Amino acid sequence: MADPLLFIENLSAGWGEGLVLEGISLRVEEGQALALLGRNGAGKTTLINTLMGIARQRGGAIRLAGTVLDRLAPERRATLGLGWVPQERAVFRSLTVAENLTAVARPGRWDEKAVYALFPRLAERRRNLGSQLSGGEQQMLAIGRALMLNPRLLLLDEPLEGLAPVIVQGLLFAIQRLVRDEGMAAILIEQHATQILPITDQAVILDRGRIVAKGASSQMLAEPALLERHLGLSLH
């Protein structure tokens, strides 16, 4: 049986001496999109930051395509295939859109032309500085820049947060195209579960640093009581 793209076993992690995650085990297959759900403070961002080598891994194992990540620096993890879109976007404000993209480019399917096809607005703004972009445009650029690394697994930390509904719909369409049409493996964190469950394959719910539910995204959508209990959502 082939190794999964991402394999996490009995992971514990946190910040400094503080422990945030305990006993986390999950896997993401090639071409699979995983929704990572939970209330604020559940440990979702800490899990992404641990995968990137920023939060402190205290125990357990992380493997990407069979390679052990446990002690690797963040930049090494990026070259191995992790593409990260952090919650704060972190675009290079003093560089143009085009410079943001080419600064991190690695050979592969995703180049400037492909990113502009996914986000036509970035093509229109390619000579503008990062500081001159709206919040939605910055989020498009952050995703585009991660794609320019030609990652094997894309990590999206609340990509829809704080954006106008019309921008949210455009980003959801682009993310759906990535995971459905392009077969990009991804982990998506989002507060609004009902927005990303329809475009993901599997879902995991965290509560107080532990996995409390996992299963097919379609199954979770069909169980409003489960979402209400763990996320405080009412789908009625």
pLDDT in tens, 66-76: 999 998 999 99
- Four-point Cα dihedral 129, 130, 136, 142, nearest 10: 130
Q: In the predicted model, what is the mean pLDDT of residues 159-173?
A: 91
Residue 236: predicted pLDDT: 42
Question: What does pTM read for this prediction?
Answer: 0.93
Contact between 130 and 94 under an 8 Å Cβ cutoff? The reply is yes
pLDDT at 89 (0 to 100): 81
The average confidence (pLDDT) of the chain is: 93
**Residues 84-137 pLDDT 10s:** 999 888 899 999 999 999 998 999 999 999 999 999 999 999 999 999 999 999
Cα 217 from Cα 215, distance rounded (Å): 6
Q: C-alpha angle with apex 85: 235 to 83, nearest 5 degrees?
A: 115
